[in-house]
Amino acid sequence: MRNYKIDELDQQIITLLSEDARLSNRKIAAELGFTEGTIRSRVKRLEDENYIRFTAVTNMEHMKTPLLAQIGIHAEQDMIKQVAEEVAKFSQINAVIILLGRFDIFAIGLFEGLAEVQQVASNQILDLKGVRLVETSLVVDVAKYDNRVAKIVHPLSEYSLEFAAK
Amino acid sequence: MSDQNFEFSDLDRSIITILKKDGRTSNQKIADMLNVTTSMVATRIRRMEQAKAMKVVAVSDFSAFDYNVLLPIGVDVKGRRANDVAADLAKLEEVAVVQLVSGRHDIEILVTLPSMDDMSGFLLEKLSKIKGIRNLDPSFAVDIIKYDFDVAPI
């Protein structure tokens, strides 16, 4: 899928940008002892190869009653992929992972309060065709959250198209 | 701790919408798109960052750090406070997320490993050294359909 395997310089650039994505190429170049041009082409390649994405993250403390919930779903074996794709459509759901083990599908969502968790998990998801069982777990506290890593699912081109359309 | 009194203005929201798409859009370009001055954009971004209401980050794919195996694991605790067990789990480099939960398990973690070969070292040398873990309920991530955390604890 990828033509390029990242090296140590790429990882150093990523580490700096994961703290502050708005650092200028000039500052990164000075910090790491390379030219601005080298840094610019590295950053571009990392983006083009879907290794990295720059985004604004807002603090969930600024929601009224933020509640993270994890929803484990058991689905009919021949419908796992379809169910996962349906679950991914809910705006409250941030992550949908197909699992081997505890559940067939593991979904993580951010909700405005318990009523919304109940509405989405126990009503809407359970009602989807192919869903056999839903088990919800509420997040009480987050002891660690490494937002440097994620799965970059959409290729860059889709992002730019979507943006151009707005 | 974030500034709880901070409220996003309409301009802030417009800036965030642009930065969510591309966090490295220049202040100049944002200013042009929103018809405001460059210094207004710079001030608002700085203000939001200082209030810890927003930050602009590089998110890298798991594979950029050579994490190819993802394991969501439910952890049950006994004989020790779940908070303390969670704090120990959080110290492990391979553990990307630690959440205290109410549900079937006490703690949910997301473990990231380069390959299956790293499993025994992680399980036997690191995880099993943590006191108070009664049971692990592991699973393998087979496919990731959506992974989009643009609202998160900062």
pLDDT tens per residue, range A76-93: 999 999 999 999 999 899
Read off the pLDDT of each residue in A99-112 and give the average, rounded to a whole number.
Answer: 93
* A19 and A85 together in one domain: no
Q: Which CATH architecture has domain B62-137?
A: 2-Layer Sandwich (3.30)
DSSP A4: -
Inform me whether the pLDDT recorded for A157 exceeds 50: no
Question: Is residue A70 scored above 90 in pLDDT?
Answer: yes
Q: Do A97 and B143 touch (CB under 8 A)?
A: yes
Q: Per the structure block, which two tokens stand in for B120?
A: 């025994």
A99 within some domain: yes
Write the pLDDT tens digit of every residue in B114-130.
Answer: 999 999 999 889 998 99
The answer to whether position A144 is within a domain reads no
**pLDDT exceeding 90 applies to what percent of chain A?**
57
Q: Rounded to an integer, what distance in angstroms lies between the CA atom of residue B16 and that of residue B20?
A: 6
Give pLDDT tens digits for A2-25: 678 889 999 899 989 988 899 999
Identify the helix (H) or strand (E) that includes residue A96: strand A93-100
Q: What is the pLDDT of residue B153?
A: 63
Q: Is A152 exposed, middle or buried (0-12, 13-18, 19+ CB in 10 A)?
A: buried
Number of domains composing chain A: 2
Residues A73 and A120 grouped into a single domain: yes
For residue A145, tell me if it sits in a domain.
no
Domain boundaries, chain B: 10-50, 62-137
Asked if residue A149 is part of any domain, the answer here is no
> Which pLDDT score is estimated for A1?
57
Q: Give the nearest chain A residue to B96 (CA atoms).
A: A146
**From B23, B104, B145, residue closest to A84, measured CB to CB:** B145
Please tell me which of the candidates B20, B99, B143 has its beta carbon nearest to residue A139: B99
Closest to A56 (Cα-Cα) out of B109, B12, B90, B76:
B12
Residues of A with Cβ-Cβ distance to B55 under 8 angstroms: 20, 56-57
pLDDT score, position A154: 54
Nearest by CB to residue A62, choosing from B53, B72, B101, is B53
Contacts of A165 in chain B (CB under 8 A): none
**Residues A69, B99: contact at Cβ < 8 Å?**
no
Angle between helices A156-165 and B10-21 (to 10 degrees): 140
Nearest-CA distance A28 → chain B (Å): 14
Averaged pLDDT, groups of 10, chain B, 154 residues long: 77 93 93 96 94 88 82 94 96 92 93 91 91 93 82 63
Q: Which of B153 and A106 is assigned the larger pLDDT?
A: A106
AA identity, residue B142 = V
Distance of CA A32 to the CA centre of its chain: 28
ipTM for this model: 0.79
> Is A102 contained in some domain?
yes
Chain B contact set for A138 (CB, 8 A): 101-103
8 Å CB contact of A22 and B152: no
Q: Is the CB of residue B42 less than 8 Å from the CB of residue B31?
A: no
Shared domain for A14 and A70, answered yes or no, is: no
Please report, for the domain that includes residue A44, its CATH number.
1.10.10.10
Q: Which of A6, A23, A59 to mutate to test the interface with B (most CBs of B within 10 A)?
A: A59
Q: How confident is the model at residue A165 (pLDDT cuts 50, 70, 90)?
A: very low
Range of the domain at A112: 60-138
pLDDT of residue A162: 41
| Residue A22, H or E segment | none
CA B100/CA B117 separation, integer angstroms: 28
Residue A154 located in a structural domain: no
* Residue A117 located in a structural domain: yes
The verdict on A35 and A70 lying in the same domain is no
Mean pLDDT across chain A: 86
> What's the confidence (pLDDT) of residue A153?
62
Q: Classify domain B10-50 at the CATH class level.
A: mainly alpha
CATH number at residue A102: 3.30.70.920
The owner of tokens 């890298």 is B60
Residues A128 and A68 occupy one common structural domain: yes
Instruction: Note whether residue A64 is domain-resident.
Output: yes
